[in-house]
Structure 1
Amino acid sequence: MDQILLFAVLGLGQGALIAGIALGVVVTYRGSGIINLATGAVAMASAYIFWALTSGFFGFTLPTVAALIGALVAALAIGVLIEVAVFRPLRTVSPLAKLAASLGILLTLQATVLLVFGTQPQQAPSVLPGETVTVLGITTPADRFLLTGLVIAIALALGALYRWSRFGLATRAASENEQAALLAGLSPNGISLANTLLAALVAGLLGVLAAPIVQVDSITLPLQVVPALAAALFAGFTSLWIACTAGILIGVLQSIVYFLSTQSWFPTDNGNAMPGLQQLLVFVLMVVALYVRGAGLPRRGEAVEQRLPAVPLPERLLRPALLAAVVAAAALVVLPFDFRQALTNSMIGMVIVLSYVVITGYVGQISVMQLAISGTAGFALSHVAIQLRVPFPFDALGATLLATLLGVAAGISALRVRGVSLAVVTLAAALAMEQALFGNTSFGGTAGVSVPPPRLFGVNLGPGADFRGLDGNEPSPMFGFLVLAVTVVLGLYVAHLRRTGLGRRMLAVRSNERAAAAAGVDVRAVKIAAFAISSFIASVAGTLYGYNFGSVSAARFTALAALGLIGFAYIGGITMVSGAVIAGLMSTEALLPHALDKWFGIKGTWALLFGGVSLIVTLIANPDGIAGAGHRRRAAKRAARAAARVSEPDGPHPEGEHHAPAALDTTEVAS
């Protein structure tokens, strides 16, 4: 019992950090209606700046207190930049787009930290006293109690500020009805800025103070936002006191789970403690929070109607698909081996993004689990092909079916969850799958698992096939042809889905679930169908990935990689198949990153920075993505030509010619 108490006290430090980030999430949501996934990244940036100011990284060293002030000033500067450059221009967009914007901020901050400070974790000096105290016979570091007391004091101060000050009254007024707040002389922009600065200050302070406990690195600190989101869910994104208490308790529970996992009676994995239990705990707590608090977030009274990205009706399918297939097939033969591999990677990325087109573009649900489902299919492929000795293509079909069933099960369990709430829950699920499932050696493991090449009637269709293209090097174009065929078929299916009755029902659910149900649409059936289709497509991508590299590694299916992929999907155009093509070309190890690396020396971290900034710019300047902008330009030109023909006084008008459809072929569904 003493050991459990000791680890519970030790968990107070991480719990205080989680509580601080949760407070920042709640404060930001109160002020601007945005769930800021980058709150943990603000804590990370502040901790790195504090370490740099105290370690001489910038060529000089500041005293601890001065360095703390400098880190907090940097946090405030980041908050101003986030609000002015990102949140304010996006006040009128949909909640999903705002969530995607916060994802862009996270990617940008992480890439900036990696470029400036490197990938090596750092140990920051402690601001708090290093003495120990004895409580109930247990000797523990005093900083855990100090951190906990500080975050509780911050929660009480913020609660008093919102309850009894004019600023708190103005924040509540702007949250409930922006139009009425404007008429009363309040500035929603100013209120949002003040709340964003408060959130950045709290996150930055806790990031610096807790850094010696959790270590300063570019992955651990940003992902602390996941348990913080669980605490915010318990608080309904409104109650500061509940968010603080839940955050502290989550840290304590995670520490106790870690202690229990070290006991001899606890289940092990290859002699080591079962991985991912802390992340699994957070996911379970999120499910409990949604059950207790309800699936919806508190609604805000926005001043302007929010609009989702348009979903144009595909005009032609076969001709552009065949043309693209011919060009890609020729490129697979002609290109050098490295670009041939990059093109194959691009097509696999296109397939994964097609799953986002269905679940997010058509149904309006952000599911961060799609890449994790791909990884599940890849690992399952290894077990089916090697352990069960199932030949191709039945091994791929079996692995795809297993992973699809997992996706459908997740969809059924999340039927009450929609929109932003679904994104939050599936982010926790993706992190839990990464750590608990992919990190488990009985299924995956950090070393990865091998995948045999695909053979059909004795013919090797894998990257090591005999036909090697013009340069005679691996990978063989044969596997590229296989990936190309799958990509074209799935792309045609997703584009055709938009034309079908199911596609129209998906768009109705995306626009307004209650209105769709009132019109006779079975919302539950539509959601399950969308999860099944998107999970199947993502699973196919996972099997192609396994064949492509001859192995499956957990490092390629991380939650952060999934967030980056969603960012590329938004940049390309998340509602269109052509957007998936563009996103695939920009994805990890695809053609565009490979060309930038080879020709200009721009490597992965720069590509991550480019992706984060491009996502923000796309959401602000062009919410429909690159593909959507191209469609609008083509539609405008056709409408202008049709108008010009109509306006010609003596122009020919062939019998049966109609001009109205030319102006209506930009059919879109938006809300």
Structure 2
Amino acid sequence: MGQFLQFVFLGLSTGAVYAVLASSLVGVYAATGIINFAQGAMGLWAVYAVAALRTDGSLVLPIGTIPLGSADDPTPMGLAVVIGVGSAVVWAILAHYLVFRPLRHAPVLAQVVASVGLMLFLQALVQLRFDTENLLALATLPDRTFEFAGAVVNVSDVILAGIAIAIAVIFWAYFRLTTLGVATRAGSEDELAARLVGYSPDRLAAVVWVLTGAATGLIVILAAFTIGLSVTSYTFFVIPALAVALLGRLTSFGIACGAGLLLGSFQAVITWLTTKDWWPEWAQAGLGEALPFVVIVVALFVFGGRIPSRGSLGEVKMPAVRIPRIRPIPTIVVLAAVIAAILLTSGTWRFGVVTSVILSLIALSLVLLTGYLGQISLASMAFAGTAGFALSKLTVNWNVPFPFSILLAALIATGLGILVGIPALRIRGAQLAVVTLAAAIAIQSFVFNNPEITAYEGNIIVDPTLFGLDLGVRDGTNLVTVRFALMVLLVVAIATLVVMRIMAGSTGRAFLAVRSNERAAASVGINVASTKLLGFALSAFLAGIGGCLIGYSRGQLSAGSFTVVVGLTLLAMTYVGGITSVSGAFLAGVIGPLGVGYVFLNQTLDLGEYYEIIAAGGLLLMAVLNPVGVSGAVTELVDRLRSEHRSDHPPSTTTIVTPSNSEAGANA
């Protein structure tokens, strides 16, 4: 019993972080209607800023550094904490005015990808500006213990829990007992009414951003000594925080806080249980990280229909969709250009070309599911990784030959995609994005990083052969063979053409109808549930094929090939290219991770370390300024020029012009 209680108390420090992040998410949602995926990343900057100040007195800024001390005389703890909390507040204010305020009336998709982009931007900026490998968090709270019922309890853990509860009480009091808080709640239900009585929703929201930024910065700074410093951990603490916030329907600070503390303690108890002899070996890794996904799914299925949405002043539209058409000449030109790139390059450059081709297929899976069907998915790399690791077992353990190995592995990913898509039958929008992101993290932690599940002879993948022809990626010192590159191009080209036919046919029209209005689609005989699951299945199958090709290109897989960050970065590139168009997927492949754009940035400009921050920054700019992406912007420009040309040169005979299906936009 004493050991059990000891781990319960040990989990309070992490639980306190969950609780405060959850309370902050509830506050931001009440003020803006936005689910802020970057809430943990805002605290990430604060905790590393304090660590740098306490190590050598350096005040690290996004650009430049101000010395406030030295290694022998670092910044005093009190001043360092104040500066750290202030930095979190500054990031929160910048996020409000530069990112989320312009997107107040934008589609949910734009808000989600902007939030994800901000998360990636802050994480990349921290890795770029701080010495993350060598910085350590120093104690800020009393380092004492006491005994309780046979358990040795850290005083700091109890203090952190108390601070989390106090912050939740402060937030509750602000929204319930103050004039500004009540006005913020009223504005969330009827923004126009709030404006008519003299309140600015923007200023009310700014106050909430300041409060939540300060609370987030404070709790992570105080908990860092116990939890330790980790860029990835603090960034994705938002997932368990979202889990407990959703338990409170994104309205209850009390439930969010209490559930956060309980979740942290429960994860610590699971860690303790995994040390027992009777605990199964397959469940010793990643189970605690997968738990928030279960909590989120249950919470959304129970409360999803009753989570309040923010009132708005007008109808929000999704980016317009252009129906793809297979044109022989452009298709041949594109294929010829890729073949020329393969034949004229070698080594790293050819590897970049092949990687771009593969990534374009995974990006196409996002275009199909998110841009075409309107289901926001952040789990594309989880599907790709599932197929990749399945391919390893199929080729090594069961000797399944190519191409049947790819098809079977992709079908396994398809089954997982359908399972992840089941919550879409009940929820949609940002809540579905939460589910898919939580699923991606759960799969990464419990499957990819679990040696009992994925580790099989080092996850080696047998080279593909067809009719005795070796299609392996390497031949001696040759990094990528021409045969392998052409095989990848052929597989991706066939898959792309098939998907384009589907998108242009009756299935594609059903997808667009569901994207536009689910009730209207159902009224004309479309089975909405089946259509959604079909979308998830097709998307996962495409991503699975891409994951298999990544596996063949590596020869041996690791979890690092399919991390959540890589998946989110590819989503960013797809949105930059154009989330609603096939050409946008091609552009995403070119500028995707380890693709041609990355090789150019790294090899030619020697700026590879800036790739992630450039990708995230590009996503933020596109989400705020140009939601249709580069491909959509080019298409709009061409259409405008053609329209101006026709107006300058009117036809000699009268013609009847009807709207083209390819020009029809779909509303959210």
Could you say which residue in structure 2 is the equivalent of 1:14? 14
C-alpha contact 1:120 1:217 (8 A) present in aligned 2: no
Could you say which residue in structure 2 is the equivalent of 1:619? 623
In the alignment, the residues of structure 1 paired with residue 297 and residue 665 of structure 2 have an alpha-carbon distance, to the nearest angstrom, of: 35
C-alpha contact 2:281 2:452 (8 A) present in aligned 1: no
Could you say which residue in structure 1 is the equivalent of 2:415? 405
In the alignment, the residues of structure 1 paired with residue 642 and residue 497 of structure 2 have an alpha-carbon distance, to the nearest angstrom, of: 24
Report the 3-state secondary structure (helix = DSSP H, G, I; strand = E; otherwise coil) of the residue aligned with 1:623. coil
Are positions 1:80 and 2:93 aligned together? Answer: yes
Could you say which residue in structure 1 is the equivalent of 2:558? 553
Task: Report how far residue 493 of structure 1 moved.
Answer: 2.7
| Matched AA of 2:126 | V
Are positions 1:127 and 2:126 aligned together? Answer: no
In the alignment, the residues of structure 1 paired with residue 660 and residue 373 of structure 2 have an alpha-carbon distance, to the nearest angstrom, of: 26
C-alpha contact 1:121 1:217 (8 A) present in aligned 2: no
Are positions 1:429 and 2:445 aligned together? Answer: no
Query: Are the structure 2 counterparts of residues 111 and 300 from structure 1 closer, same or farther at C-alpha, using a change threshold of 3 Å?
Result: same
In the alignment, the residues of structure 2 paired with residue 628 and residue 259 of structure 1 have an alpha-carbon distance, to the nearest angstrom, of: 52
Could you say which residue in structure 1 is the equivalent of 2:583? 578
Report the 3-state secondary structure (helix = DSSP H, G, I; strand = E; otherwise coil) of the residue aligned with 1:410. helix
Counterparts of 1:420-459 in structure 2 under 5 Å? 420-445=430-455, 448-459=458-469
The one of 253, 264, 267 equivalent to 2:280 is 267
C-alpha contact 1:101 1:616 (8 A) present in aligned 2: yes
Are positions 1:525 and 2:538 aligned together? Answer: no
| Matched AA of 2:592 | S
Give CA-to-partner distance per residue, 1:314-350, whole Å, 9 cap, x none.
3553322221001100110111322111000001110
The one of 365, 370, 373 equivalent to 1:355 is 365
Could you say which residue in structure 1 is the equivalent of 2:503? 498
Query: Are the structure 2 counterparts of residues 664 and 402 from structure 1 closer, same or farther at C-alpha, using a change threshold of 3 Å?
Result: closer
| Matched AA of 1:342 | G
Moved more, 606-615 or 132-141: 132-141
Give CA-to-partner distance per residue, 1:76-98, whole Å, 9 cap, x none.
11111111110111111012211
Could you say which residue in structure 2 is the equivalent of 1:190? 203
Q: Aligned residues: percent identity?
A: 37
In the alignment, the residues of structure 1 paired with residue 111 and residue 365 of structure 2 have an alpha-carbon distance, to the nearest angstrom, of: 21
Counterparts of 1:511-522 in structure 2 under 5 Å? 511-522=516-527
C-alpha contact 2:374 2:515 (8 A) present in aligned 1: yes
Counterparts of 1:559-574 in structure 2 under 5 Å? 559-574=564-579
In the alignment, the residues of structure 2 paired with residue 448 and residue 563 of structure 1 have an alpha-carbon distance, to the nearest angstrom, of: 26
Task: Report how far residue 222 of structure 1 moved.
Answer: 0.8
Could you say which residue in structure 2 is the equivalent of 1:177? 190
Could you say which residue in structure 2 is the equivalent of 1:162? 175
Query: Are the structure 2 counterparts of residues 599 and 622 from structure 1 closer, same or farther at C-alpha, using a change threshold of 3 Å?
Result: same
Give CA-to-partner distance per residue, 1:1-39, whole Å, 9 cap, x none.
211111001101100011111111111111111111110
Task: Report how far residue 108 of structure 1 moved.
Answer: 0.8
In the alignment, the residues of structure 2 paired with residue 608 and residue 323 of structure 1 have an alpha-carbon distance, to the nearest angstrom, of: 31
Report the 3-state secondary structure (helix = DSSP H, G, I; strand = E; otherwise coil) of the residue aligned with 1:544. helix
Report the 3-state secondary structure (helix = DSSP H, G, I; strand = E; otherwise coil) of the residue aligned with 1:552. coil
The one of 641, 644, 648 equivalent to 1:644 is 648
The one of 547, 563, 579 equivalent to 1:542 is 547
Give CA-to-partner distance per residue, 1:241-262, whole Å, 9 cap, x none.
1111111111011000000011
| Matched AA of 2:211 | L
C-alpha contact 2:317 2:666 (8 A) present in aligned 1: no
Could you say which residue in structure 1 is the equivalent of 2:327? 317
* RMSD over aligned Cα atoms: 1.8
Could you say which residue in structure 2 is the equivalent of 1:469? none
Query: Are the structure 2 counterparts of residues 664 and 561 from structure 1 closer, same or farther at C-alpha, using a change threshold of 3 Å?
Result: closer
Could you say which residue in structure 2 is the equivalent of 1:50? 50
Task: Report how far residue 290 of structure 1 moved.
Answer: 1.8
Query: Are the structure 2 counterparts of residues 82 and 563 from structure 1 closer, same or farther at C-alpha, using a change threshold of 3 Å?
Result: same
Could you say which residue in structure 1 is the equivalent of 2:312? 302
In the alignment, the residues of structure 1 paired with residue 456 and residue 232 of structure 2 have an alpha-carbon distance, to the nearest angstrom, of: 17
Task: Report how far residue 289 of structure 1 moved.
Answer: 1.3
| Matched AA of 2:185 | R
Task: Report how far residue 146 of structure 1 moved.
Answer: 0.5
Task: Report how far residue 445 of structure 1 moved.
Answer: 3.7
In the alignment, the residues of structure 2 paired with residue 433 and residue 303 of structure 1 have an alpha-carbon distance, to the nearest angstrom, of: 39
Could you say which residue in structure 2 is the equivalent of 1:416? 426
Give CA-to-partner distance per residue, 1:278-307, whole Å, 9 cap, x none.
012111111221233235631111123222
Could you say which residue in structure 1 is the equivalent of 2:657? 660
In the alignment, the residues of structure 1 paired with residue 447 and residue 206 of structure 2 have an alpha-carbon distance, to the nearest angstrom, of: 41
Could you say which residue in structure 1 is the equivalent of 2:26? 26
Query: Are the structure 2 counterparts of residues 16 and 166 from structure 1 closer, same or farther at C-alpha, using a change threshold of 3 Å?
Result: same
Could you say which residue in structure 2 is the equivalent of 1:98? 111
Please list every run of 5 or more consecutive structure 2 residues that lacks an aligned counterpart in the other structure: 59-66
**What is the number of equivalent residue pairs in this alignment?**
655
Moved more, 98-107 or 512-521: 512-521
Report the 3-state secondary structure (helix = DSSP H, G, I; strand = E; otherwise coil) of the residue aligned with 2:378. coil
Task: Report how far residue 369 of structure 1 moved.
Answer: 1.9
Task: Report how far residue 447 of structure 1 moved.
Answer: 8.8
Could you say which residue in structure 1 is the equivalent of 2:2? 2
Moved more, 434-443 or 8-17: 434-443
Give CA-to-partner distance per residue, 1:599-625, whole Å, 9 cap, x none.
11111x411000111101001110011
| Matched AA of 1:610 | I
Moved more, 102-111 or 397-406: 397-406
Could you say which residue in structure 2 is the equivalent of 1:333? 343
Query: Are the structure 2 counterparts of residues 425 and 663 from structure 1 closer, same or farther at C-alpha, using a change threshold of 3 Å?
Result: closer
Give CA-to-partner distance per residue, 1:341-386, whole Å, 9 cap, x none.
1000001110111110111011111222221111111111111111
In the alignment, the residues of structure 2 paired with residue 174 and residue 373 of structure 1 have an alpha-carbon distance, to the nearest angstrom, of: 40
Could you say which residue in structure 2 is the equivalent of 1:112? 125
Task: Report how far residue 520 of structure 1 moved.
Answer: 2.5
| Matched AA of 1:495 | M
TM-score computed with the length of structure 1 as normaliser:
0.94
